[in-house]
A and B are shown apart, each in its own frame.
Chain A
């Protein structure tokens, strides 16, 4: 038996996080990111990679099979090997890694996109819940997160102060992120002075929803050397899901993140940077604990999704942020996290290391 093939990330690009992409359609959102990643490696189009996988959710823009339109951005003549997940593109990355490890491909293009501004996102997301017990009540995603936050606060595992601290730090970090939607210096006191919208959450505790796209190219390490481009190695990746029954989960913890982190080998070395997909401030506190991160880890140096939450691409963008920092030589090892479902139901953890 041969050892598992090492996977290299060789290119990443993301769009600005825009509250409304307005004029652009899906293809027009995706195309600049594909052009950018092809440019980073010196490729023409999707004909030059062995596999393509995308992540998006048709419900967000209310257009059935909207993801098929994305294929118009690829150059799919002659036909290409293509797949899609109705999830964040981080899971499209996972599928692509499997494809490479099964010897079905040596390289893959991954992209995620959404135009969530077309609908009312928290309401749309209510329809991903249990169709008998919850969807008919239209319980929205912000309200579910708010109940999770209260459990955390009342158990003494977080404070509104600490949550505001997460927001303030994210916005400060985002000042150097050219794609950020929200950034700037803001004090914890200023944040706490605002009223709650769905108590105990304030508007600032909820990531701003963004339209946009992100793209990545991965390949075998051999292929990366052949292409002669800088790369980071994905030394581990795993994802775990918890029961859909929110009442049966310990919402103050994230056992699925902890398990995925163990599977991905997070503990096998120092974590210099962690990019976490926490769409609500208190969820960053849960994740930091579940991942066992300490003071020596810089959390969300990009500002994370608090700086702009590219729906269906934020998880992939977290991995891209760690990749960028490794190839630029800033760090040699980092962790990226993606999430899906209500209250951190489903979590993916990846470890990236310098070559």
Chain B
């Protein structure tokens, strides 16, 4: 039997999901729409941003929302030289774990900077809001470094 050519076909797979947020995620996303950021207090007193519905240690339902700051500190980061098509930026940028002021647990989002050298663990950043906020995590367009 002759070996056939490798036949291939590019295709796009789409899952057009709509998700129910539930009260906790919904409260956080509603906050983003209003350009405010809410965390939730865990059983050990730590403020988790974005809020979790249940305490990861005790599994207790959480409901004490705490508004946190729109500035924070980079806990860890990486520099993406060549963004992927799916990434929220189309030029080099950083992903970072950011601990917002008033929060104890870092959140993951992207940070814009002109160059990798501008970034450092411990650097201060602030939220850049999207032009239109609609109740999505992407209402935070990115974070930017706070100038000296």
Contact = CB atoms under 8 A, between A and B. Distances in A.
Classify A-B as touching or not with yes or no (CB < 8 A).
yes
A132 B137 contact: yes
A196 B84 contact: no
B105 interface: yes
Interface stretch (A118-126, A253-261, A290-298): A118-126
Interface in A281-340: none
Interface string A135-172: 01111100110111111001000000000000000000
Contact of B6 (A22, A132, A137): A22
A134 B109 CA distance: 8
B81 to A, nearest CB: 6
Contacts of A126: 86
B110 A137 contact: yes
Contacts of A151: 75-76
A138 B87 contact: yes
Contact of A248 (B13, B56, B75): B56
B56 A140 contact: no
A147 B95 contact: yes
A22 B121 CA distance: 42
B70 interface: no
B108 interface: yes
A6 B21 CA distance: 46
B1 to A, nearest CB: 12
B77 A245 contact: no
B80 A132 contact: no
Interface stretch (A72-80, A97-105, A197-205): A197-205
Contacts of A22: 6
A144 B138 CA distance: 18
Contacts, number: 102
Interface residues of B, number: 41
A42 interface: no
A196 B108 CA distance: 21
B19 to A, nearest CB: 6
A243 B105 contact: no
B71 to A, nearest CB: 17
Interface residues of A, number: 38
Interface in A242-275: 243, 245-248, 251
A246 to B, nearest CB: 6
Contacts of B50: 132-133
A175 to B, nearest CB: 29
Nearest to A127: B15
A23 B13 contact: no
A206 to B, nearest CB: 12
A117 to B, nearest CB: 10
A23 B4 contact: yes
Contacts of B97: 147, 246-247
Given A120-B84, A123-B84, A138-B86, A147 B78 contact: yes
A251 B75 CA distance: 12
Interface in A187-203: 195-201
A71 to B, nearest CB: 22
24 contacts: A22-B6, A122-B84, A132-B137, A133-B108, A134-B108, A136-B138, A137-B137, A138-B84, A138-B88, A140-B84, A140-B86, A147-B95, A147-B97, A151-B75, A196-B81, A198-B81, A199-B81, A199-B116, A201-B78, A245-B52, A246-B97, A247-B105, A248-B48, A248-B56
